[in-house]
């Protein structure tokens, strides 16, 4: 069966590769909206959903995973930013996603940044994003989604702060996040608090420990029973800043972190320099692959595996996905692979994960999490030392 799915995916990949030059002739934002419209259409009735499943879905029991009490049919998820208004939830399970993070949603309606704001960098396998959190606002979107049955799809609600003014006001900003949390209190399976949008007018103020402390205190007051809360970090912070945020997450009882958001070109060396099309924005895709995996490794070790990690950045193949899992990630997010490789890459990654688990002798994703990033066994070292001390005495 796996071979048949592999052949199907290979043929779909060839079709996508042939169509890609034509798709890439379209303006990237226009192409994004056109594909979304196709997705809405495919998700609108049982027949097109069944057909989409036939061409794109893949299931295997070893992919089932429970994370912070939420059961996922597979760990492969859509990352925030693709579905900024939460319009495509009916089609994601048929494409093969186990989860989809919707948003970022903001407390207020947000038009985003003016002008051209999406650019392809094909040689770098990256998208330069200068959107600036455009979305219809938490009230409107939550009203539309409140009675939607997401079925086997698990849904993350990504909350960010409205990008409307360059002035930063701590209290207003916090209320913006908690307004979104309240609007979505009966919708979705987990929250992500996005403190790392690189394209906002007032920067990333919650890197400041005092502000972060105030935000996480408020977020906890708006917690919904049984709904994990994750915090999404930037890709290009100093290690001290990463450590301070991760420690604050542990201290405030956050359930985990999403690693990472987009990479700012001035802090990143992993793209083709002459391809950079614009002086603003931040990059997705391949330039993020190594840095996000390194951060997954670091945070997994620093927290002793106690914080859930959602790994995101430059996942194009099952090996990329498996590397993030074996480094410590329990769930995965992705966007760029859809754009550069096509939607069949979701089931191809899931299919490849099943093979890689088998090769390593694991029966489930849970068993593989962090398996190539072993945590230091401090207790054991202590025991050996104690015995040695006894022997010497």
Binding site residues, ligand FMN, CB under 6 A: 79-81, 84, 104, 118, 127, 129, 131, 133, 158, 194, 197, 232, 261-262, 284-285, 288, 312-315, 334-336
CA distance 132 to 109: 12
Q: Which two tokens stand for residue 286?
A: 């391949």
> Which residues in 36-124 belong to E strands, given as ranges?
65-67, 70-72, 76-78, 99-105, 118-121
Q: Residues in the chain, how many?
A: 393
Q: Residue 170 to residues 212, 245, 253, 341: CA-CA distances in angstroms?
A: 10, 17, 21, 41
- Whole-number minimum distance, CB 9 to ligand FMN, in Å? 18
Q: For ligand FMN, which is the closer residue by CB, 72 or 105?
A: 105
- Whole-number minimum distance, CB 125 to ligand FMN, in Å? 9
- Whole-number minimum distance, CB 392 to ligand FMN, in Å? 53
Pairing of strands 190-194, 229-233: parallel
Is the distance from CB of 286 to CB of 317 less than 8 angstroms?
no
CA distance 350 to 344: 10
- Whole-number minimum distance, CB 363 to ligand FMN, in Å? 27
- Whole-number minimum distance, CB 326 to ligand FMN, in Å? 18
Position of minimal CB gap to ligand FMN: 81
Q: For ligand FMN, which is the closer residue by CB, 261 or 347?
A: 261
Q: Residue 212 to residues 183, 225, 249: CA-CA distances in angstroms?
A: 22, 22, 9
- Whole-number minimum distance, CB 61 to ligand FMN, in Å? 26
Q: For ligand FMN, which is the closer residue by CB, 35 or 150?
A: 35
**Cβ-count burial of 175 within 10 angstroms (0-12 exposed, 13-18 middle, 19+ buried)?**
middle
3-state SS track over 248-266? HHHHCCCCEEEECCCECHH
Is the distance from CB of 328 to CB of 296 less than 8 angstroms?
yes
Q: For ligand FMN, which is the closer residue by CB, 100 or 118?
A: 118
- Whole-number minimum distance, CB 335 to ligand FMN, in Å? 4
Is the distance from CB of 31 to CB of 21 less than 8 angstroms?
no
Q: For ligand FMN, which is the closer residue by CB, 294 or 364?
A: 294
Q: For ligand FMN, which is the closer residue by CB, 63 or 197?
A: 197
Q: For ligand FMN, which is the closer residue by CB, 52 or 196?
A: 196
Q: For ligand FMN, which is the closer residue by CB, 339 or 368?
A: 339
- Whole-number minimum distance, CB 161 to ligand FMN, in Å? 11
């Amino acid at each position: 069966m796996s071979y048949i799915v592999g052949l199907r995916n290979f043929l779909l990949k060839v079709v996508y590769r042939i169509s890609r030059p034509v798709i890439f002739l379209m303006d990237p934002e226009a192409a994004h909206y056109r594909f979304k419209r196709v997705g809405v259409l495919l998700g609108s009735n049982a027949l097109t959903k069944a057909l989409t499943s036939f061409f794109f879905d893949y299931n295997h029991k070893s992919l089932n995973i429970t994370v912070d009490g939420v059961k996922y049919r597979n760990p492969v998820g859509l990352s925030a930013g693709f579905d900024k208004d939460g319009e495509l939830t009916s089609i994601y399970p048929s494409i093969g996603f186990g989860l989809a993070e919707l948003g970022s949603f903001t407390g207020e309606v947000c038009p985003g940044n003016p002008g051209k704001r999406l650019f392809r960098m094909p040689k770098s396998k990256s998208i330069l994003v200068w959107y600036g959190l455009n979305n219809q606002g938490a009230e409107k979107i939550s009203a539309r989604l409140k009675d939607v049955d997401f079925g086997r799809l698990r849904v993350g609600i990504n909350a960010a702060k409205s990008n409307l003014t360059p002035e930063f006001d701590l209290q207003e900003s916090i209320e913006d996040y908690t307004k979104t949390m309240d609007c979505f209190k009966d919708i979705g399976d987990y929250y992500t608090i996005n403190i790392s949008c690189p394209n906002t007018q007032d920067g990333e103020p919650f890197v400041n420990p005092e502000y972060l402390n105030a935000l996480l205190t408020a977020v906890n007051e708006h917690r919904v029973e049984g709904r994990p809360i994750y915090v999404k970090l930037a890709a290009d912070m100093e290690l001290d800043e990463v450590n301070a945020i991760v420690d604050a997450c542990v201290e405030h009882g956050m359930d985990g972190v999403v690693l990472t958001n987009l990479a700012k070109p001035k802090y990143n060396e992993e793209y083709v320099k002459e391809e950079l099309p614009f002086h603003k924005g931040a990059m997705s895709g391949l330039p993020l692959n190594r840095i996000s995996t390194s951060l997954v490794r670091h945070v997994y070790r620093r927290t002793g595996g106690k914080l859930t990690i959602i790994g995101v950045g430059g996942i194009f193949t099952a090996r990329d996905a498996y590397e993030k899992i074996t480094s410590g990630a329990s769930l995965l997010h992705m966007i760029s692979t859809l754009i550069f490789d096509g939607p069949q890459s979701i089931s191809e990654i899931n299919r490849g994960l099943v093979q890689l688990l088998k090769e390593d002798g694991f029966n489930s994703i849970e068993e593989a999490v962090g398996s190539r990033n072993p945590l230091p066994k401090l207790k054991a070292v202590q025991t050996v030392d104690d015995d040695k001390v006894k022997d010497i005495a």
